[in-house]
Amino acid sequence: MHQGIPDPSATAAEDELLQRSGPLKAALVAFGKSPRFASEFRSAFADRFGTAEPGNQVDYINFLDRFVLEHRTRDGRTVVEQFVASRPDLPEAERAMLRCWETVVEGIFEVERHDGDAAVMVNLVDELTYRVRSNAGPQLLERLVPEAVLWARVVPFGDGWLLSGALNAAPFEARREMCRAAAEMANTCAAAVFRNPDKIALGWELHHRLRGHFIEFFGADLAIVTGHELADSMAGFWNHHATRISAARSQAPGKAASSVDPDAPDEEQPPPVPPMSISPDLEQAETVGIMFDEVEGLWFLPEYQLMQEVFADPARITVRRYREAVSGYLRSQSLPPIALRRLAEQDPDRAGRVFARLLGKPRFTWQRDGEALLRRYKSDFLDRTPLPGVTPLSNRQRAFLRPRRDVEGSG
C-alpha cells in the first residue's frame, strides 16, 4: 500500500478488534471480581471508598477499571496480566491489545472535533492530541460537542486510543473549573505532563538552567545549612533564580524589559517564588544537605553533615548517632540512592569499611557489593525513569492557576 492510503484489511481487522474489546473487557472485570482476588478487591475498595458506598456509578466503574488495569497484586502482576496468562485460547492480536491496556492515560480532555467514529481530543494535562474510539458505539462520542471538557480514561488501541471506564463530562458552567483542575494536575503530577516528549526536552533544559543558578547561588551543587536556616536559604535561592530569569528576558534582543508576550515560550516567563513549607524534621535538624543533582534534581538531606563525617572516618560508625544516620539513609524509602552513592564515590575503600561494620559483613567492599546493596534497599528509585526536576507549564495552564479577579459592579 502507498503511504497515506488506508489498508482495507487492516481497517477491517481493527474494527473487528474493537467489537471484541467490549466482551473481553467484561470478561476481564468478571475475572477481577472473582474469588481469586476477593481479599485484594475488598482492600482496594475500602482504600477508595472507606465504609461508604460509591457516590455514583461513574466512580464505581472507574474504580473497577483501575483495579483490573493498574492494581498490582501480591505477586507484582496486574489483574489484566494474570487474565491474559489464564487465557491461552485468545488470538495473539487480542492478547496484545489486552497487554497494552496497562498503559492508561487518565486526564481532563477537551473535544476538538469528530473524525468518523472517533473523537479527536486534547489532553489538557500533557497537551497531546488523542484520537479516541469507543466500544460502546459511536453514539456515545457523538454526544460530545466540540469544546466540551470531560474527565476520561483512555488506553492504547491500534494507532489511536480507546475509552476505558466511564467518562465524566462537565456541564458548560463547570468548564472553567475542569480546566483549572487540569492545570492543577499538570502542576502537581509531573509524570502526567512528561508523557509529552516536547515537555520532557523543555523540562530538562529548565532543570539544567535551574541547577546552574543553584550552583551560582550556593557555590556548588551541594550546600550544608542548619535546619533553621533552610527556609531562608531556599527563599534566597528562588529569588536569585527569578532575578536571573528576569535579567535574561530583559537582555533578549528585540524585547523590552517590561514586555510580556502571552505567546512567548514558557521558559521565558519569570517564575514566581514558590512558598517554602519546611517539615518539622528538617527544621529541627542540626544540619540539612541541599543537593541539586544533575539527574536526580533537588533534595533536602537531613543530618547530612553526620554522613559526611562518618564516611570520612569509618571508625565513627560504632557511635550510635552515626550508625543510626547511615542505617536510616540506607533503609529510607524517601531518600535517594544518590545521597549514599556520592559519599561512597569520594573514597570507595572507606565507604566499604562503613558498610562492613554497619552490616556486620567484614568482607564487604563498595566496589564489589555497593550497587547490590543499593538495589536491595532502593529498588524503587533505581527502577524508575529519571524525570526533569522542573515541570514546564503552558501559558494556558498558568492562566488557569492564577487566582480569578472577578470585579463586581464593573461597567
Inter-residue contact 215 to 292 (CB < 8 Å): yes
The neighbour count for residue 190, using CB atoms within 10 Å, is 17
Inter-residue contact 111 to 144 (CB < 8 Å): yes
The domain limits of the chain are: 11-100, 105-188, 199-383
Q: pLDDT by residue for the chain (411 residues), tens digit each?
A: 344 454 556 678 888 999 999 999 999 999 999 999 999 999 999 999 988 888 789 999 999 999 999 999 999 999 999 999 999 999 999 999 999 999 999 999 999 999 999 999 999 999 999 999 999 887 888 889 999 999 999 999 999 999 999 998 888 888 889 999 999 999 899 999 999 999 999 999 999 999 999 999 999 999 999 999 999 999 999 999 999 998 887 776 554 333 333 334 444 455 555 666 789 999 999 999 999 999 999 999 999 999 999 999 999 999 999 999 999 999 999 999 999 999 999 999 999 999 999 999 999 999 999 999 999 999 999 999 999 999 999 988 988 887 655 433 333
Inter-residue contact 318 to 326 (CB < 8 Å): no
Positive or negative, the CA dihedral 35, 36, 38, 44 is negative
Q: Residue 263 has what pLDDT?
A: 37
Q: Residue 10 has what pLDDT?
A: 62
The grid coordinates of residue 16 equal 473487528
Closest CA to 166 of 37, 55, 78: 55
Q: Residue 3 has what pLDDT?
A: 45
Single-letter amino acid code for the residue at 189? C
Q: How far, CA to CA in Å, does 177 sit from each of 62, 128, 130, 329, 400?
A: 21, 20, 22, 42, 9
Q: Residue 254 has what pLDDT?
A: 52
Distance CA 213, CA 239 (A): 10
Parallel/antiparallel/unpaired status of strands 129-133 and 160-169: parallel
3-state secondary structure labels for all residues of the chain: CCCCCCCHHHHHHHHHHHHHHHHHHHHHHHHHCCHHHHHHHHHHHHHHHCCCCCCCHHHHHHHHHHHHHCCECCCCCEHHHHHHHHCCCCCHHHHHHHHHCCCCEEEEEEEEEEECCEEEEEECCCCCEEEEECCCCHHHHHCCCCCCEEEEEEEEECCEEEEEEEEEECCHHHHHHHHHHHHHHHHHCHHHHCCCHHHHHHHHHHHHHHHHHHHHHHCCCEEEECHHHHHHHHHHHHHHHHHHHHHHHHCCCCCCCCCCCCCCCHHHCCCCCCCCCCCHHHHCCCCEEEEEECCCEEEEEECHHHHHHHHHCHHHHHCHHHHHHHHHHHHCCCCCHHHHHHHHHHCHHHHHHHHHHHHCCCCCCHHHHHHHHHHHHCHHHHHCCCCCCCCCCCHHHHHHHCCCCCCCCCC
Q: Tell me the Cα Rg of the chain.
A: 26
CATH number belonging to domain 105-188: 2.40.50.140
The grid coordinates of residue 308 equal 559526611
Distance CA 329, CA 386 (A): 20
